[in-house]
Homo-oligomer: A and B are copies of this chain.
Amino acid sequence: MAAQSTNPLASNQLRIGILGASGYTGVELVRLLVRHPNASIALMTANSHAGEAYDAVFPHLGGNDLPELIKTEEAAWDGIDMAFCALPHGTTQEIVRELPGELKVVDLSADFRLEDVDTYAEWYGHEHYAPALQPEAVYGLTEFNRTRIADSRLIACPGCYPTAVLLQLLPLVAARQIDIDDIIIDAKSGVTGAGRAVKETSLFAEVAEGIHPYGVAHHRHAPEIEQEIGKLAGRSVTVNFTPHLMPMNRGELVTSYVRLANGATAGDLRQTLVERYADEPFVRIVPEGATPATRHVRGSNFVVTGVFADRIAGRAILVTVIDNLVKGSSGQAIQNMNLMFDIAETTGLEQQPLFP
């Protein structure tokens, strides 16, 4: 299975570095990149596994001729075209600060998502470690920021929840069809959303056969959602965002409850979304009567949204599904990489969903 070596473009492939290759978003980057015809993984770090072969950590990716894991400080950036940072929140700012200035960086953490460093400090509990870099960072919601992403050196990929929520709501905010002061977002996520950190709340027996909300009224994805809606609306906004932890590996479902504005109907909302995303390769709006399910996107970069009239007059319900590890993180990161290097945007992301 030596896909890369037989690739006709191999000679002018992108050379990629992955920082934090032993987490779930890291390994998902690897899964997708080993099949990407224009990219080669040239460097991978994982401090806790430095010195190990990659398939000693992730046997399912054996046979791909990948570089050995090294420590971040051992990384030689010479000849590397770009880096993905798949490090835990709070550790990326300092590391990115020390990277070569010309290296393009797509960051999957939260470290550069909030434009206002004070808001960052408020929600993340410490001062921003790289405030000078923050203004450079472009929010990597691909479908809304293509031009800026293509021209930028530092991309802050959105959180998994904000990706689903913003793709669902931003066109409706732009069309002034919903009341932005009355947005209720009930979200449900698989366990990989919490990463591969070893903690009691992620143990099988603490998650299987059950559900519970978490971070009620203080989840860190709220300010990110509010930032983007607020920028589009031209004023600050507060939303309800209530995530729940579910017994499944992958997948995220967002059910949003909105109040209609300016005479819009649920049908108008659907129409707005259909038109906005007509040419988007990864975004689908299901017809009236169809219902999105996370299993419709498992393992793929697709985003699927349905719109429903509420029985309460003047309200509507929106349901969006993504795979949190693909469109919610590593897939969107590669989509952004493609843009930055003028590669066709869907390259390496054409996997069909895996069902069952």
Contacts and interface: CB of A to CB of B under 8 A. Distances in A.
Interface of A: 1, 3, 24, 27, 31, 34-35, 58-64, 181-182, 184, 186, 188, 190-192, 196, 198-200, 202-214, 216-218, 222, 238-242, 244, 246-251, 253, 255, 257, 281, 284, 286, 290-300, 304, 308-313, 315, 317, 319, 321, 346, 350-356
Counting from the closest, the 8 A-B pairs by CB-CB distance are A212-B293, A205-B356, A210-B295, A60-B353, A60-B296, A186-B186, A249-B356, A191-B204
Contacts of A1: 281, 346, 350
A210 B353 CA distance: 12
Contacts of A214: 291
A222 B312 CA distance: 11
Nearest to A241: B311
A31 B300 CA distance: 12
A321 B213 CA distance: 11
Contact of A352 (B31, B205, B296, B346): B31
Contacts of A204: 191, 202-204, 206-208, 247, 249
B212 A294 contact: yes
A192 to B, nearest CB: 5
Nearest to A297: B60
A183 B300 CA distance: 35
B253 A310 contact: no
Copies in the complex: 4
Contacts of A192: 205, 356
A60 B209 CA distance: 14
Given A204-B191, A204-B208, A240-B317, A213 B352 contact: no
A258 B353 CA distance: 36
Given A208-B356, A210-B294, 14 more contacts: A59-B296, A60-B300, A181-B312, A186-B186, A191-B205, A204-B207, A209-B209, A211-B246, A212-B321, A213-B255, A214-B291, A240-B312, A240-B315, A240-B317
A295 B222 CA distance: 27
Contacts of A59: 286, 290, 292-293, 296, 304
Among A31, A60, A257, find the residue whose CB has the most chain B CB atoms closer than 10 A.
A60
12 contacts: A1-B281, A24-B356, A60-B352, A186-B255, A198-B203, A204-B247, A208-B208, A208-B249, A211-B253, A216-B317, A218-B311, A244-B255
Contacts of A182: 312
A194 to B, nearest CB: 9
Nearest to A304: B59
A24 B205 contact: yes
Given A238-B311, A312-B240, A27 B355 contact: yes
Contacts of A181: 312
A295 B60 contact: yes
Given A203-B203, A296-B60, A291 B346 contact: no
Contact of A210 (B186, B208, B210, B248): B248
A299 B247 CA distance: 18
Nearest to A181: B312
A251 B205 CA distance: 12
Contacts of A250: 209, 356
